[in-house]
Amino acid sequence: MTPRKIIIDTDPGQDDAVAILLALASPAEINVLGITCVAGNVPLELTARNARIICELAGHSELRVFAGCDRPLGRDLVTAEYVHGKTGLDGPDLPEPQMPLQDQHAVEFIIETLRNEPKGSVSLCPVGPLTNVATAFNKAPDIVEKVQEIILMGGAYFQVGNVTPTAEFNIYVDPHAADIVFRSGAPITVMPLDVTHKALVTQARNAAFRALGTPVGIATAQMTEFFERYDREKYGSPGAPLHDPCVIAYLIRPELFTGRYVNVRIETQSELTMGMTVADWWGVTDLAPNAYFVGDIDADGFFELLTERLGRL
Ligand code: BDR
Ligand code: CA
Protein backbone atom coordinates (compact mmCIF):
# COMPACT_ATOMS: atom_id res chain seq x y z
CA MET A 1 0.00 0.00 0.00
CA THR A 2 1.08 3.60 -0.58
CA PRO A 3 2.13 5.22 2.68
CA ARG A 4 -0.29 7.84 3.96
CA LYS A 5 1.02 11.39 3.75
CA ILE A 6 0.76 13.12 7.12
CA ILE A 7 1.79 16.25 8.95
CA ILE A 8 2.32 15.78 12.69
CA ASP A 9 1.33 18.91 14.60
CA THR A 10 2.76 18.59 18.07
CA ASP A 11 3.90 20.06 21.41
CA PRO A 12 6.47 17.50 22.69
CA GLY A 13 5.89 16.24 25.45
CA GLN A 14 7.12 12.69 26.12
CA ASP A 15 4.01 11.07 24.66
CA ASP A 16 4.25 13.31 21.58
CA ALA A 17 7.85 12.13 21.28
CA VAL A 18 6.77 8.48 21.25
CA ALA A 19 4.14 9.33 18.62
CA ILE A 20 6.84 10.85 16.41
CA LEU A 21 9.09 7.81 16.92
CA LEU A 22 6.26 5.43 16.01
CA ALA A 23 5.55 7.35 12.81
CA LEU A 24 9.20 7.48 11.78
CA ALA A 25 9.52 3.76 12.45
CA SER A 26 6.66 2.98 10.06
CA PRO A 27 7.65 4.21 6.57
CA ALA A 28 5.65 1.49 4.80
CA GLU A 29 2.43 2.93 6.19
CA ILE A 30 3.31 6.57 6.94
CA ASN A 31 5.09 9.30 5.01
CA VAL A 32 5.80 12.21 7.38
CA LEU A 33 5.83 15.34 5.21
CA GLY A 34 6.86 17.55 8.08
CA ILE A 35 6.50 18.21 11.78
CA THR A 36 4.81 21.41 12.87
CA CYS A 37 5.22 22.60 16.43
CA VAL A 38 2.84 24.54 18.61
CA ALA A 39 2.90 25.95 22.12
CA GLY A 40 1.24 23.58 24.58
CA ASN A 41 2.90 21.29 27.10
CA VAL A 42 5.76 23.81 27.16
CA PRO A 43 6.36 27.08 25.26
CA LEU A 44 6.97 26.99 21.50
CA GLU A 45 10.73 27.41 21.72
CA LEU A 46 10.96 24.17 23.69
CA THR A 47 8.46 22.17 21.62
CA ALA A 48 10.40 23.11 18.46
CA ARG A 49 13.62 22.04 20.19
CA ASN A 50 12.16 18.80 21.50
CA ALA A 51 10.71 17.74 18.14
CA ARG A 52 14.18 18.05 16.59
CA ILE A 53 15.80 16.12 19.46
CA ILE A 54 13.40 13.26 18.75
CA CYS A 55 13.98 13.31 14.98
CA GLU A 56 17.70 13.03 15.64
CA LEU A 57 17.18 10.25 18.17
CA ALA A 58 15.26 8.38 15.45
CA GLY A 59 18.08 8.98 12.94
CA HIS A 60 15.91 11.26 10.81
CA SER A 61 17.64 14.62 10.85
CA GLU A 62 16.51 15.13 7.23
CA LEU A 63 12.94 15.73 8.39
CA ARG A 64 11.65 19.27 8.27
CA VAL A 65 10.51 20.77 11.56
CA PHE A 66 8.58 24.06 11.65
CA ALA A 67 7.68 26.37 14.52
CA GLY A 68 4.12 27.64 14.52
CA CYS A 69 1.85 29.59 16.85
CA ASP A 70 3.29 30.57 20.20
CA ARG A 71 -0.05 31.18 21.88
CA PRO A 72 -3.71 30.20 21.63
CA LEU A 73 -6.13 32.20 19.48
CA GLY A 74 -8.02 33.96 22.22
CA ARG A 75 -6.62 33.02 25.60
CA ASP A 76 -3.40 33.06 27.57
CA LEU A 77 -1.15 30.03 27.10
CA VAL A 78 -1.49 27.31 29.74
CA THR A 79 1.43 24.86 29.91
CA ALA A 80 1.95 21.51 31.67
CA GLU A 81 5.47 21.41 33.12
CA TYR A 82 3.90 19.76 36.18
CA VAL A 83 3.34 16.70 33.97
CA HIS A 84 6.20 16.79 31.45
CA GLY A 85 8.96 18.52 33.43
CA LYS A 86 10.73 21.81 32.84
CA THR A 87 11.90 21.00 29.30
CA GLY A 88 8.79 19.05 28.30
CA LEU A 89 11.03 16.09 27.59
CA ASP A 90 12.43 15.40 31.05
CA GLY A 91 13.65 11.87 31.73
CA PRO A 92 16.36 10.88 29.26
CA ASP A 93 19.56 12.83 28.82
CA LEU A 94 19.45 13.65 25.10
CA PRO A 95 21.80 16.00 23.22
CA GLU A 96 20.74 19.43 21.99
CA PRO A 97 19.60 19.20 18.36
CA GLN A 98 21.96 20.01 15.51
CA MET A 99 19.39 19.96 12.72
CA PRO A 100 17.95 23.34 11.79
CA LEU A 101 14.50 24.63 12.46
CA GLN A 102 12.90 25.62 9.13
CA ASP A 103 12.49 29.34 8.45
CA GLN A 104 8.94 28.95 7.17
CA HIS A 105 6.13 29.36 9.71
CA ALA A 106 4.31 26.08 10.45
CA VAL A 107 0.98 27.54 9.37
CA GLU A 108 2.43 28.55 6.00
CA PHE A 109 3.92 25.07 5.60
CA ILE A 110 0.53 23.46 6.27
CA ILE A 111 -1.19 25.76 3.76
CA GLU A 112 1.46 25.36 1.06
CA THR A 113 1.65 21.58 1.45
CA LEU A 114 -2.11 21.09 1.23
CA ARG A 115 -2.41 23.44 -1.73
CA ASN A 116 0.28 21.52 -3.61
CA GLU A 117 -1.26 18.10 -3.02
CA PRO A 118 -4.34 16.55 -4.63
CA LYS A 119 -7.73 16.79 -2.94
CA GLY A 120 -8.12 14.43 0.03
CA SER A 121 -4.54 13.22 -0.01
CA VAL A 122 -2.89 14.55 3.15
CA SER A 123 -3.89 13.75 6.73
CA LEU A 124 -3.23 16.03 9.66
CA CYS A 125 -2.25 14.50 12.99
CA PRO A 126 -2.56 17.15 15.70
CA VAL A 127 -1.46 15.91 19.12
CA GLY A 128 -1.31 19.28 20.86
CA PRO A 129 -3.55 22.37 21.00
CA LEU A 130 -5.21 22.97 17.62
CA THR A 131 -3.91 26.53 17.12
CA ASN A 132 -1.78 25.86 14.02
CA VAL A 133 -4.47 23.87 12.21
CA ALA A 134 -7.24 26.37 13.00
CA THR A 135 -5.06 29.29 11.93
CA ALA A 136 -4.30 27.55 8.63
CA PHE A 137 -8.03 26.89 8.06
CA ASN A 138 -8.86 30.52 8.89
CA LYS A 139 -6.21 31.90 6.54
CA ALA A 140 -6.85 29.46 3.70
CA PRO A 141 -10.33 27.90 3.83
CA ASP A 142 -9.63 26.32 0.41
CA ILE A 143 -7.27 23.79 2.02
CA VAL A 144 -9.99 22.08 4.06
CA GLU A 145 -11.08 19.98 1.09
CA LYS A 146 -7.48 18.89 0.58
CA VAL A 147 -7.47 17.16 3.97
CA GLN A 148 -7.94 13.41 3.78
CA GLU A 149 -8.57 13.10 7.54
CA ILE A 150 -7.70 14.83 10.77
CA ILE A 151 -6.76 12.31 13.43
CA LEU A 152 -6.33 14.22 16.67
CA MET A 153 -5.64 13.55 20.32
CA GLY A 154 -7.96 15.61 22.46
CA GLY A 155 -11.13 15.76 24.45
CA ALA A 156 -12.99 13.23 26.54
CA TYR A 157 -16.53 12.07 27.14
CA PHE A 158 -16.60 9.43 29.91
CA GLN A 159 -13.30 10.64 31.42
CA VAL A 160 -14.57 14.25 31.23
CA GLY A 161 -11.36 16.17 31.92
CA ASN A 162 -7.75 16.05 33.06
CA VAL A 163 -6.72 19.73 33.29
CA THR A 164 -10.07 20.97 34.64
CA PRO A 165 -12.95 18.85 35.89
CA THR A 166 -14.53 19.09 32.44
CA ALA A 167 -11.76 19.61 29.88
CA GLU A 168 -8.86 17.72 28.39
CA PHE A 169 -5.58 19.65 28.08
CA ASN A 170 -5.20 20.02 24.27
CA ILE A 171 -8.74 21.28 23.81
CA TYR A 172 -8.68 23.42 26.96
CA VAL A 173 -5.53 25.26 25.94
CA ASP A 174 -7.14 26.50 22.74
CA PRO A 175 -10.88 25.87 22.72
CA HIS A 176 -11.47 28.49 20.02
CA ALA A 177 -9.11 26.66 17.69
CA ALA A 178 -10.78 23.35 18.49
CA ASP A 179 -14.17 24.90 17.73
CA ILE A 180 -12.93 25.99 14.28
CA VAL A 181 -11.55 22.52 13.53
CA PHE A 182 -14.66 20.64 14.66
CA ARG A 183 -16.84 22.96 12.56
CA SER A 184 -14.57 22.77 9.51
CA GLY A 185 -16.30 19.88 7.76
CA ALA A 186 -13.04 17.93 7.40
CA PRO A 187 -13.32 14.22 8.31
CA ILE A 188 -12.19 13.95 11.95
CA THR A 189 -11.16 11.02 14.12
CA VAL A 190 -10.74 11.78 17.82
CA MET A 191 -8.58 9.94 20.33
CA PRO A 192 -10.02 11.21 23.61
CA LEU A 193 -8.90 10.43 27.16
CA ASP A 194 -11.55 7.67 27.14
CA VAL A 195 -9.21 5.63 24.98
CA THR A 196 -5.78 7.03 25.86
CA HIS A 197 -6.31 6.33 29.56
CA LYS A 198 -6.47 2.66 28.56
CA ALA A 199 -3.07 2.85 26.81
CA LEU A 200 -1.06 2.64 30.02
CA VAL A 201 2.63 1.82 30.25
CA THR A 202 2.72 -0.88 32.91
CA GLN A 203 6.03 -2.01 34.40
CA ALA A 204 6.15 -4.95 32.01
CA ARG A 205 5.51 -2.71 29.00
CA ASN A 206 8.18 -0.29 30.14
CA ALA A 207 10.61 -3.18 30.62
CA ALA A 208 9.90 -4.27 27.04
CA PHE A 209 10.92 -0.82 25.74
CA ARG A 210 14.11 -0.94 27.79
CA ALA A 211 14.87 -4.50 26.71
CA LEU A 212 15.16 -3.29 23.11
CA GLY A 213 18.58 -2.14 24.31
CA THR A 214 18.73 0.64 21.70
CA PRO A 215 18.98 4.41 22.32
CA VAL A 216 15.33 4.72 21.20
CA GLY A 217 14.12 1.88 23.44
CA ILE A 218 16.02 3.16 26.48
CA ALA A 219 14.95 6.80 25.95
CA THR A 220 11.32 5.71 25.56
CA ALA A 221 11.53 3.78 28.84
CA GLN A 222 13.07 6.80 30.57
CA MET A 223 10.50 9.23 29.15
CA THR A 224 7.52 7.12 30.17
CA GLU A 225 9.07 6.52 33.60
CA PHE A 226 9.39 10.27 34.08
CA PHE A 227 5.85 11.26 33.28
CA GLU A 228 4.13 8.26 34.84
CA ARG A 229 4.63 9.72 38.31
CA TYR A 230 1.96 12.30 37.57
CA ASP A 231 -0.77 9.83 36.59
CA ARG A 232 0.20 7.41 39.33
CA GLU A 233 -0.32 10.10 41.96
CA LYS A 234 -3.44 11.52 40.38
CA TYR A 235 -5.35 8.47 39.18
CA GLY A 236 -3.54 5.65 40.95
CA SER A 237 -2.97 4.17 37.49
CA PRO A 238 -0.18 1.63 36.88
CA GLY A 239 1.77 3.86 34.50
CA ALA A 240 1.87 6.69 32.00
CA PRO A 241 -0.92 7.00 29.43
CA LEU A 242 0.50 7.07 25.90
CA HIS A 243 -2.06 9.57 24.60
CA ASP A 244 -0.49 10.80 21.39
CA PRO A 245 0.90 7.52 19.97
CA CYS A 246 -2.72 6.32 19.73
CA VAL A 247 -3.15 8.73 16.79
CA ILE A 248 -0.27 7.16 14.87
CA ALA A 249 -1.18 3.59 15.82
CA TYR A 250 -4.65 4.24 14.39
CA LEU A 251 -3.09 4.99 11.00
CA ILE A 252 -1.11 1.77 11.07
CA ARG A 253 -3.63 -0.63 12.66
CA PRO A 254 -7.11 0.97 12.80
CA GLU A 255 -8.60 -2.37 13.85
CA LEU A 256 -7.04 -1.88 17.30
CA PHE A 257 -9.62 0.87 17.96
CA THR A 258 -13.41 1.12 18.10
CA GLY A 259 -15.65 4.16 18.38
CA ARG A 260 -18.78 5.90 17.17
CA TYR A 261 -19.64 8.60 14.67
CA VAL A 262 -21.07 11.38 16.82
CA ASN A 263 -21.61 15.10 16.91
CA VAL A 264 -18.96 16.95 18.91
CA ARG A 265 -19.19 20.59 19.95
CA ILE A 266 -16.65 22.59 21.90
CA GLU A 267 -17.50 24.79 24.88
CA THR A 268 -16.02 28.25 24.33
CA GLN A 269 -18.37 30.42 26.43
CA SER A 270 -18.51 29.18 29.99
CA GLU A 271 -15.37 29.61 32.10
CA LEU A 272 -16.62 26.74 34.29
CA THR A 273 -16.66 24.20 31.46
CA MET A 274 -14.29 25.91 28.99
CA GLY A 275 -12.87 23.46 26.44
CA MET A 276 -15.31 20.67 27.19
CA THR A 277 -15.88 18.32 24.24
CA VAL A 278 -19.64 17.98 24.23
CA ALA A 279 -19.94 14.64 22.42
CA ASP A 280 -23.38 13.27 21.63
CA TRP A 281 -22.27 9.71 22.43
CA TRP A 282 -25.84 8.53 23.12
CA GLY A 283 -27.36 10.25 20.10
CA VAL A 284 -29.77 12.39 22.12
CA THR A 285 -29.71 15.27 19.62
CA ASP A 286 -30.43 15.19 15.91
CA LEU A 287 -27.17 17.02 15.17
CA ALA A 288 -25.20 15.44 12.34
CA PRO A 289 -22.08 13.49 13.32
CA ASN A 290 -18.90 15.44 12.62
CA ALA A 291 -16.33 13.06 14.12
CA TYR A 292 -15.45 9.44 14.71
CA PHE A 293 -15.02 9.45 18.50
CA VAL A 294 -12.89 6.52 19.60
CA GLY A 295 -13.85 4.79 22.85
CA ASP A 296 -11.84 1.61 23.12
CA ILE A 297 -8.44 0.15 22.31
CA ASP A 298 -6.83 -3.27 22.24
CA ALA A 299 -4.08 -2.13 24.61
CA ASP A 300 -1.99 -5.30 24.34
CA GLY A 301 -2.10 -5.09 20.55
CA PHE A 302 -1.16 -1.42 20.72
CA PHE A 303 1.91 -2.04 22.92
CA GLU A 304 3.00 -5.02 20.81
CA LEU A 305 2.87 -2.82 17.72
CA LEU A 306 4.65 0.06 19.43
CA THR A 307 7.47 -2.05 20.87
CA GLU A 308 8.00 -3.90 17.62
CA ARG A 309 8.14 -0.64 15.65
CA LEU A 310 10.45 1.16 18.10
CA GLY A 311 12.77 -1.81 17.72
CA ARG A 312 13.18 -0.93 14.05
CA LEU A 313 14.79 2.45 14.77
C1 BDR B 1 -2.56 15.61 25.99
O2 BDR B 1 -1.99 16.72 26.67
C3 BDR B 1 -0.59 16.62 26.68
O4 BDR B 1 -0.11 16.76 27.97
C5 BDR B 1 -0.23 15.29 26.07
O6 BDR B 1 0.93 15.42 25.28
C7 BDR B 1 -1.43 14.92 25.26
O8 BDR B 1 -1.34 15.42 23.94
C9 BDR B 1 -3.30 14.75 26.99
O10 BDR B 1 -4.31 15.49 27.62
CA1 CA C 1 0.74 16.38 23.04
Quick: pLDDT tens for 198-238. 999 999 999 999 999 999 999 999 999 888 777 777 777 77
Cis peptide preceding 13, ω within 30 of 0: yes
Distance 247 CA to ligand 2 centre (A): 11
Q: Of the residues 14, 37, 41, 172, which should be mutated to test ligand 1's pocket, given the most ligand atoms within 8 Å of the CB?
A: 41
**What is the pLDDT at residue 229?**
73
Q: Is the CB of 80 under 6 A from ligand 1?
A: yes
In one-letter notation, the amino acid at residue 194 is: D
pLDDT at 1: 74
HEC secondary structure over the chain: CCCEEEEEEECCCHHHHHHHHHHHCCCCCEEEEEEEECCCCCCHHHHHHHHHHHHHHCCCCCCCEEECCCCCCCCCCCCCHHHHCCCCCCCCCCCCCCCCCCCCCHHHHHHHHHHHCCCCCEEEEECCCCHHHHHHHHHCHHHHHHEEEEEEECCCCCCCCCCECCECHHHHHCHHHHHHHHCCCCCEEEECHHHHCCCECCHHHHHHHHHCCCHHHHHHHHHHHHHHHHHHHHHCCCCCECCCHHHHHHHHCHHHEEEEEECEEECCCCCCCCCCEEECCCCCCCCCCCEEEEEEECHHHHHHHHHHHHCCC
Mutate to test the pocket of ligand 1, among 159, 163, 243 (most ligand atoms within 8 A of CB): 243
Provide the pLDDT for residue 273: 98
Which pLDDT score, from 0 to 100, does residue 239 have?
83
Q: Which of 77, 125, 127, 231 to mutate to test the pocket of ligand 1 (most atoms within 8 A of CB)?
A: 127
On the 0-12 / 13-18 / 19+ scale of CB atoms within 10 A, 41 is: buried
In the reported structure, the alpha carbon of residue 170 is separated from the centroid of ligand 1 by a whole-number distance in angstroms of 6
Task: Give the Å distance between the CA of 231 and the centre of ligand 2.
Answer: 15
pLDDT of residue 307: 98
- 197 CB less than 6 Å from ligand 1? no
pLDDT reported for residue 163: 95
Q: Is 197 a catalytic residue?
A: no
pLDDT computed for residue 228 by the predictor: 75
Give dist(CA 52, CA 101) in Å, integer. 8
Q: In the β-sheet with 257-262, what is the strand arrangement from edge to edge? A: 65-67, 30-37, 4-10, 122-126, 147-153, 188-191, 291-297, 257-262
Q: How far apart are CA 272 and CA 284, in angstroms?
A: 23
* CATH of 4-310 given 3.40.50.2300, 3.30.2320.20, 3.90.245.10, 3.30.930.10: 3.90.245.10
Nearest ligand, CA 41 = 1
| Centroid of ligand 1 to alpha carbon of 141 (angstroms) | 27
The residue from 60, 84, 197, 243 that is catalytic is: 243
The verdict on the CB of residue 162 being under 6 Å from ligand 1 is yes
**CA 135–ligand 1 middle distance (angstroms):** 20
Does 244 contact ligand 1 (Cβ within 6 A)?
yes
Residues of the chain where predicted confidence (pLDDT) is lower than 50 = none
